Amino acid sequence: MDIMQVAGVGAGALVSEMAKSTWDSVRAAVARLFGRGGEESATQELRLIDAARQRLVDSSESERGSVEDRLRNELMIQLAAFLQKHPDAAQDLQNLADQAKGADDGDGARTNVHHNTESMVVVSGGDINASGGFHYRAPEQSR
């Protein structure tokens, strides 16, 4: 497994997840990954990840693309350095990136509603398809 390739894929997945509502669960997975380096190392690595996310969240819409590009490069370097020290974590990072990609591809939860009259449906993170011609696609999956 090529460390730079895995680091690049992981960095791209992290940047794409940073501004989503699912970030907390992704961050927890990243914390477990960095935990392979020990508690002190994990704390330092997560501090860098959190600072990167904050820069992305604080960026304006007009600068978002360039901020994402810079963050992908920075995180690729950070992840590659970590994987050099802990090559056994490469598969975990690849799995995390694959899970994030699966969510982007629409492999997440879907909800179908049939024969639903005069009621309200609230769905988080999935599609709604009601038989009467109403269809709602969750924003994160419509890109």
| 101, 17 contact by CB (below 8 A) | no
Alpha helix locations (H) across the chain?
A: 3-18, 23-34, 39-58, 64-85, 90-104
Say what the pTM is: 0.68
Mean of all residue pLDDT scores within the chain: 80
Q: For residue 9, name the pLDDT band (cuts at 50, 70, 90).
A: very high
CA distance 31 to 49: 10
Strands 134-136, 127-130: pairing is antiparallel
Whether the pLDDT of residue 105 is over 90: the answer is: no
CA distance 74 to 45: 12
Q: For residue 102, name the pLDDT band (cuts at 50, 70, 90).
A: confident
